[in-house]
Structure 1
Amino acid sequence: MKVKVQKIDGSEISGADADIELNDEVFGVAPRADILHRVVTWQLENRRGTARPTRERSDVARTGKKFGRQKGGGTARHGDRAAPIFIGGGKAHGARKRDFEQSLNKKVRALGLKMALSSKAKDGLVIVDSLDLADAKTKVLKGHLDKAGWGRKVLVIDGDSVNEGFRKAAGNLVGINVLPARGANVYDILKHDTLVLTRDAVEKLEGRFNG
């Protein structure tokens, strides 16, 4: 499919570079809700840290020696300092270790990313020539984005690394997130209103699947 290439302020480019041909095997895949749901769930679960366990009675290294007489001492007949009632003893019914990491087939993950890109290609995809800014200032970039009218939540993906001037200028703008091509993922693509790709990003993403 052919897509018009824009400048960073939303104005169109004229000449031979006005269009870019997108690979239908990457940007023309019919989205499936079940695949996207599986990939997003896998991403979010793997972001969770392991739930730390507490030390229970069997995990505490304390003496088991009886520290008082069985009778005649006027106190209870305790024999183990690891009991939960003592300071330094094990936790009664403590939290157990929980690991939330999931596995997902590599082919399913790749298919999910293709579907996310394809869903944006139908509505919400913008291709820009580059992220170069003559004046890399936040105020200037905000003016460009307001003129382009790309919406409140925009994900910008560049090539091997994000243009440094653009990254700094976008750092204080709410709703504008930037990623290198290798960081492209289903969750971030779907949760933004508009996906902005540079020419380098398109090349890297298509090469990621062709390779």
Structure 2
Amino acid sequence: MELQITSLDGKSKGSVSLADDVFGLEVREDILHRMVRYQQLKAMAGTHQVKHRSDGARTGKKYVKQKGSGGARHGDRKAPQFRGGGRAFGPETRSHAIDLPKKVRVLALKHALSAKAKAGELIVLDSVAQKDPKTSALRITFGKLDWMNALIIDGATVDQNFALAARNIPHIDVLPVQGINVVDILRRRKLVLTKAALEALEARFA
């Protein structure tokens, strides 16, 4: 697959050939769904917790005699049926993460890249280097390029001036190539890869 390389000023910088085994796959939504669910469950804090019967601060003394009260036979007031007692079967702190084989995770990333390429929403950029960290100037540039909702992936390190200028622009995410993931790719309309990011991805999947 051939794709034009562009620059931030909209000029053509040649073309690049994309690997069909990474950017030309027939997209499988079931694999993408499995990966999105894996990422979202892994990101959940899982810190929800209630006080159970053993966690209460009330006394443990038996508050009514076993026989002769005319009511039910109870122990202490920390039982779940009493006001202020512990909650029965409430949530506890736990991990929500599920397992997903590494091969499936790698394949899901390839399918996400292929989905963007197939939809015509993949852009290869020459470089994101900026002289000054000016948000207003970069917002005008993105407006001319029609990048109102985009994920921009740079090489191993993101140009600092570009990262500073882009961080306050709504619906624009900037990541190094190590941080590329399926959820961020799918949640943004366009995927912009620099030449450095493209080379790193091809080396990663080689």
- Equivalent residue letter for 2:90: A
Aligned positions, number: 201
Counting only pairs closer than 5 Å after superposition, residues 114-129 of structure 1 correspond to structure 2 as 114-122=110-118, 123-129=120-126
Q: Structure 1's 95 and 70: CA in aligned 2 closer, same or farther, altered over 3 A? A: closer
Q: d(CA) in 2 for partners of 1:191 and 1:69?
A: 62
Q: d(CA) in 2 for partners of 1:41 and 1:82?
A: 38
1:183 maps onto 2:171 in alignment: no
**In the alignment, what sits opposite 1:173?**
169
**In the alignment, what sits opposite 1:163?**
159
**In the alignment, what sits opposite 1:12?**
12
- Equivalent residue letter for 1:169: A
1:44 maps onto 2:40 in alignment: yes
How far the C-alpha of 1:147 sits from its partner, in A, is: 1.5
How far the C-alpha of 1:67 sits from its partner, in A, is: 6.5
Q: Which runs of 4+ in 1 moved over 6 A?
A: 67-71
**In the alignment, what sits opposite 2:106?**
110
**In the alignment, what sits opposite 2:143?**
146
How far the C-alpha of 1:65 sits from its partner, in A, is: 3.8
Aligned-CA RMSD value:
2.6
Cα deviation 1:154-180 (Å, max 9, x = unaligned) = 100011121111110011111111111
How far the C-alpha of 1:202 sits from its partner, in A, is: 0.5
How far the C-alpha of 1:137 sits from its partner, in A, is: 0.4
**In the alignment, what sits opposite 1:54?**
50
How far the C-alpha of 1:116 sits from its partner, in A, is: 0.7
TM-score normalized by the length of structure 1? 0.83
Correspondent of 1:31 among 27, 31, 49: 27
Q: d(CA) in 2 for partners of 1:36 and 1:169?
A: 31
Cα deviation 1:143-198 (Å, max 9, x = unaligned) = 21112123x21100011121111110011111111111111111111121111000
Query: SS of the counterpart of 1:133?
Result: coil
Segments of 5+ residues of structure 2 without an aligned counterpart are none
TM-score normalized by the length of structure 2? 0.85
Q: d(CA) in 2 for partners of 1:163 and 1:132?
A: 6
Q: d(CA) in 1 for partners of 2:29 and 2:65?
A: 69
How far the C-alpha of 1:81 sits from its partner, in A, is: 4.9
Contact 2:8–2:141 (CA under 8 A) maintained in structure 1: yes
Contact 1:53–1:94 (CA under 8 A) maintained in structure 2: no
Contact 1:10–1:149 (CA under 8 A) maintained in structure 2: no
Segments of 5+ residues of structure 1 without an aligned counterpart are none
How far the C-alpha of 1:28 sits from its partner, in A, is: 1.4
